[in-house]
Chains A and B, each alone.
Chain A
Amino acid sequence: MPRPANLLFLLSDNHARGYIGAYGNPLARTPNLDALAARGTLYENAYAASPLCCPSRAALATGRYPHQTGYWDNAIPFDGSHESWMRRARDAGHTAISMGKLHFRDSRPANGFSQERHAMHILDGRGGVHMLLRAVGREPVNEGQWPLYIGRSGVGTAPYQGFDKKVTAEAVGWLRDEAPQQEEPWALFVSYPSAHPPFSVPEPYYRAADEIAASLPADWDRPEVAASHPAVRHLRHVMNIKAIPDEGALRKVIAGYLALCEHLDTEIGAVLGALEAAGLTDDTRIVYTSDHGEMGGAHGLFGKFCLYEESIGVPLIVAGPDIPAGQRVAAPVSHVDLAPTIEDALGVAPMAKDDRPGISLWRADDIAARDMAFAEYHAAGSSSGSFMLREGRWKLIYHVGMPAQLFDLGADPHERHDLGPAHPEASRLEARLREICDPEAVDARAKADQRRWLDHYGGPDSVAAEPLLVYTPPPGSAAEME
């Protein structure tokens, strides 16, 4: 068990693993995160619990998978009715303070934080109600998604970046003025909406698309390979994903995304600088991760919404006192590991009976011995539940009512060759998956919950008639609707 110390939890949005220098991308300009990795431990195979904001963040809060809590999508977000690491920390006498994007239902004491500043939640307490329509086979096409990527990547500004700066300023001020007054180890949760699209970034960060000389994402120009699977085909339809017009258009999106990641890194650097200036670096552990990744053109896809590595894989870097420097861990880890990790770091007394699926990262031997990661998805762009089981080189994506996908990540790290459900490894991994949950039963439960919320909002016809939300606005900005 580690000695109790403060915890700085830095969370970004939509930051794919591959867009950090320390993860091996020479084009990513992320000096602050790279330095954090150099003095800490980097997890090479970390996974979110679900590839969408709300279900992912609910799993981060509770340490449980969506099928264990019922926080399925961006209209059924965390609402504090389940136990969370922050509530346990607060109830144990620690300050657990949040700044920035939470994407819960709304601010309420039950969320568990001692305080929420600049809290960003789902829009009007309702959120992405259109994705509920998936449960009745009527999810509409989100027309704004394609222009969000192809039309708006480049030099410009987006409402998120100004909000990021507010969050940074608040965190810097807190570390300077309030942290020194804390008597018990504290948890500061700093959460940015970047690097969520639009990838519209000011000049100092944006570098011309033609400078992006690196190799382009796998199969960006062969979308039909992945789209041969009906789940991907449906995702493309709902997210209005078209053929990427040409290499130039893709390079522009990637240039915008890289620039946004650099902006994010700068904000993180400012917070880490404030920690240093306050003299707290030696007494504070730092965790950096993102709620999910970004396809970034791989398989011809943009956004998250699926269980490919670019979407469900996340960066995870931890650093601080008693954390080995420069270490890289290949064992698969999950966001559900973070709740017990944070509690251990603060010195919160263990639960009498902890039935959460995660393992505290302080239990390095247990982590090293673990050989699998699980994730699931029941939200926008999916007609039935999908489930991931990563084990060693193998990765199964099980789809309810559709053929399973199997990838040999050892030989095929970019998931270009679906080995299909008939491969013997597919049935073996499916059996392991079924030890965690019954996919068909979970799918039915998710849809039943979504139908109940549809009824709550006046039924499918009424919800279908509402204008469609393109992305959640930060506080103080107007929502963008189609």
Chain B
Amino acid sequence: MSERPNILWYCTDQQRHDTIGALGNPHINTPELDAFCARGTTFTNTYCQSPICTPSRGSFLTGRYPASTHIHRNGAADFPRGETLVTKMFADAGYDCGLAGKLHLTSAKGFEKRTDDGYRAFHWSHHPAPDLDPAHHAYHRWLEDEKGVDPRELYPPRGFCAAGVPAELHQTTWVTETAIRFVEEKRDGPWLLSLNPFDPHPPFDPPASYLERYDPASLPPPLFRPEDIERQKAFRAITQQTVDAMDPRGAMPTAALSEAEARASAYKPPESFNGQEVKAAYYAMVELIDHEFGRLLKALDAMGELDNTIVIFHSDHGEMLGDHGILYKGCRFFEGLVHVPMIVSWPGRVGENVRSDALVELVDIAPTLLEAAGLPVPSAMQGTSLWPILTGAADPAHHKPHVVCEFNDALGSASNAASSHGSMYFDGRYKHIVYHGTGLGELFDLETDPGEFVNLFDDPAHAGLRADLMRRHFDAMMGTSSAGAERISIY
């Protein structure tokens, strides 16, 4: 067995923080993640650096903030020169790196033009629907070659929320199958495997066998008060896939969709929806992830690989899921969208059944993994290693004083995709948000208002607090911008 640990890096897409049973959600069934929490250290206050895929992934894969990577947009033409993925660093250090699922650092329409990413095995499947270049779509190759299934027939147009493909043919299942094969490959050194399934990203289409496990009526409705509709109107020019907030107690759409409309439902929400129905489907998707993640860990254990493997589970960003009348994502910073799950394990090395409620950021992952593997952390990395907390050398209640998140013209798929720019500063109690150039902002006191219903931004009684937060927010955002190349002389 090699001395350096293997790394299993499981990153779901658009999974909220509050989707793991053991972390306080009695309505979702996640036995495998619950058990995983008991075997590792859970960071209960993890924040993404952007509520959108590409900037978030570009950030945690480089250990640098979007303001420094210049990776801001989904659909980008190119990966910036000069940025180095941590997977590339591991590959250069002798790791055999593989990927199954999406990468999404540049435009993924058709296929994704790779950068020098360090992956030796690259089983790409950006999303399961059959509108990608089939030559590059590894999941569809698997469906056709090994399951004898035509992906086009498996993915007929469905609504934004409906029973989807059966579990045995699901992309989430394929991710586990591909992972097992990767680990079984013969090699001398350690491996790193990025597993990036598309779920629980919309459309909300779990297998029927999972969907039937949830009774929508028994689930708590989204965080919503009728005045949300009015409150959100002020922000309707700011990019958001749900342009106009709507009452999440509405009817589910019943009209049949054209193929184009069905494909667009991955980013275009319906005219009305029922938040409990959507939540049931979303939870069912997470439960399939839970099952497949658990199956993978058991397979690794059977192969004797688990003891020397760091396993990290997290998501790239969240999902509004009807909170405040909003579905999907955009230039918003509500908890559902920016607060994500994160759990780390390494038997015998990482604390078991530990809960860290420190503020942490996804940008901290890359330096953590490097330090855990005994590799140098480049000075250009801006995240702060969590290794001291993971090993019990540091207080799990403290890591950094604040977290930040940013949206900079990140999303082309919203119908109001103007060049919105927003940023968030959160110190563990106050969340301060500025929609740059608009005069708009939000200020929530999560201690008294965890549901983020009361915007104090323009409340004269909180002007002093706002001024203080504005200064701290300004400092924090400036702190995310790298000063660039090291200084080698005084001028």
Residues of A within 8 A of B (CB): 135-138, 140-141, 143, 224, 227-230, 233-234, 237, 240, 242, 383, 400-403, 422, 440, 443-444, 447, 451, 454-455, 459-461
Contacts and interface: CB of A to CB of B under 8 A. Distances in A.
Contacts of B115: 403
A332 B488 CA distance: 46
Of B119, B122, B135, which is in contact with the most chain A CB atoms at under 10 Å from its CB?
B135
A240 B187 CA distance: 8
A459 B187 contact: no
B91 A233 contact: yes
B135 A443 contact: yes
Contacts of B168: none
Given A136-B142, A141-B186, A460-B145, A237 B120 contact: yes
A137 B123 contact: yes
Contacts of B153: none
B114 A402 contact: yes
B453 interface: no
A436 B117 CA distance: 29
Contacts of A237: 96, 120-121, 185, 187
21 contacts: A135-B141, A136-B146, A137-B141, A140-B185, A141-B185, A141-B186, A228-B116, A230-B118, A233-B91, A240-B186, A242-B188, A383-B122, A400-B135, A401-B111, A401-B124, A402-B114, A403-B116, A440-B133, A451-B144, A451-B145, A459-B145
Contacts of B119: 230
B226 to A, nearest CB: 50
A230 B188 contact: no
B118 to A, nearest CB: 8
Contacts of B118: 230, 233
Contacts of A143: 186
Nearest to B141: A136
A451 B140 CA distance: 13
A461 B88 CA distance: 31
Contacts of A422: 81
Contacts of B111: 401
Given A229-B116, A401-B114, A136 B186 contact: no
Q: Please classify how large the interface on chain B is, using the bins under 10, 10 to 19, 20 to 34, 35 or more.
A: 20 to 34
Interface of B: 81, 88, 91-92, 96, 111, 113-124, 133-136, 138, 141-142, 144-146, 178, 181, 185-188
B82 to A, nearest CB: 12
A136 B178 CA distance: 11
Contacts of B145: 135-136, 451, 454-455, 459-460
Given A403-B114, A422-B81, A440-B133, A234 B121 contact: yes
A230 B135 contact: no
B113 to A, nearest CB: 8
A143 B186 CA distance: 8
Of B96, B121, B187, B188, which is in contact with the most chain A CB atoms at under 10 Å from its CB?
B121
A454 B142 CA distance: 13
Nearest to B117: A230
B121 A141 contact: no
A251 B141 CA distance: 43
A440 B135 contact: yes
Contacts of B91: 227, 233
Contacts of A440: 133, 135
A404 B422 CA distance: 36
Contacts of B135: 400, 440, 443-444, 447
Of A224, A401, A461, which is in contact with the most chain B CB atoms at under 10 Å from its CB?
A401
Given A230-B117, A383-B121, A461-B146, 11 more contacts: A141-B185, A229-B116, A230-B118, A242-B188, A401-B136, A403-B113, A447-B135, A451-B144, A454-B145, A455-B145, A460-B146
A229 B122 CA distance: 13
A386 to B, nearest CB: 14
Contact of B122 (A135, A224, A230, A242): A230
A228 B88 CA distance: 8
A401 B88 CA distance: 17
A230 B120 contact: yes
B224 to A, nearest CB: 44
Contacts of A242: 188
A230 B113 CA distance: 12
B146 A141 contact: no
Contacts of B124: 401
A143 B188 CA distance: 11
Contacts of A443: 135
B191 to A, nearest CB: 10
Nearest to A228: B116
A440 B236 CA distance: 42
Contacts of B146: 136, 459-461
Contacts of A400: 135
A228 B114 contact: no
Contacts of A383: 121-122
A363 B297 CA distance: 65
A185 B145 CA distance: 50
B114 A230 contact: yes
A237 B95 CA distance: 11
A233 B116 contact: no
Contacts of B116: 228-230, 403
Contacts of A403: 113-116
Nearest to A243: B94
A242 B189 CA distance: 10
B152 to A, nearest CB: 16
Contacts of A461: 146
A137 B124 CA distance: 10
Nearest to A448: B135
A401 B141 contact: no
Contacts of B187: 141, 237
Of A242, A403, A443, A461, which is in contact with the most chain B CB atoms at under 10 Å from its CB?
A403
Contacts of B134: 444
B136 to A, nearest CB: 6
